[in-house]
Structure 1
């Protein structure tokens, strides 16, 4: 695969009939769902699951999506969505990059960036990342190519 950066965390996706809109391709909102699914599975892979979030009274909440839709996905397409953590301030903010590929022809369907802020679950207010976030997410910071 022709990933933008080395060693992405990757999930496999298959475009389902319910993903298709009136124009005959995957609806834009479905792509956002896929981004969330990939980010969440990566967090779980790093040992930061929902139980840990609740125990720590912290979570990473989306504050911004920037998405470039480059090509359409059609029903039945098998896709791979990769993510990297590119930037963080070790306090509140973290940025992920995403790339969606269609392996059968190598097409890049999407590139996206999402900014997250650490919040306290009990109040919803921004709070510093706990040590477990620094360890887990910090281990996954992508090195510039």
Structure 2
């Protein structure tokens, strides 16, 4: 096993085993699966920071995706395990925050995907943009150099 060379230090890392349903007609993980892993990795990280959906409901605040940018570098194959690393790369303390992602194959360390996602804060009860609560300002600290 070769450890990935992470793009930045101290990532939060989630692990996802490639499932049969993840494989497309080309014999590798379908591109849409990486979006799911990005989403699931972000949620795991948020939960580790104490910002699970229950906390979102309590604060009547959540973050929604505004934009995904994904660069596919290599394909995950059947039987592999993907490591999804994430970092908070920007938090304006108002309504926007961003994450960086790097997905690597656990066995070889090769980078499969790099991604950048921008989020906006909304009120859960209305779905409208809102100023982020203090818990988001403190709970989503920037871990990556400025975007």
With the length of structure 1 as denominator, give the TM-score of the two structures: 0.95
Q: Residue in 2 aligned with 1:49? A: 52
SS, match of residue 70 in structure 2? strand
Q: Give the ranges of 4+ consecutive aligned residues of structure 1 lying more than 6 Å apart after TM superposition.
A: none
Structure 2 unpaired stretches of 5+: none
SS in 2 for 1:71: coil
1:7-52 C-alpha deviation (Å, 9 max, x unpaired): 0000111111000011111011111000000000100000001111
Consecutive unaligned residues of structure 1, counting only runs of 5 or more, are none
TM-score (norm 2): 0.94
Aligned pairs (5 A) from 1:129-140: 129-138=132-141
Aligned residues: 143
Cross-structure match for 2:128: 125
Partner SS state of residue 51, structure 1: helix
1:91 aligns with 2:94: yes
Alpha-carbon offset, residue 122 of structure 1: 0.8
1:4 aligns with 7
Task: State how far apart, in whole Å, the 1-side matches of 2:29 and 2:20 are.
Answer: 9
Distance 1:22 1:91 in 2: 43
- Distance, in Å, in 1 between the alignment partners of 2:140 and 2:98 is 11
Distance, in Å, in 1 between the alignment partners of 2:133 and 2:92 is 13
Structure 1 residues 65-119: Cα deviation after superposition (integer angstroms, max 9, x where no partner): 0000110111111121100001121100001000011132221000000000000
Q: Distance in 1 between matches of 2:144 and 2:105?
A: 24
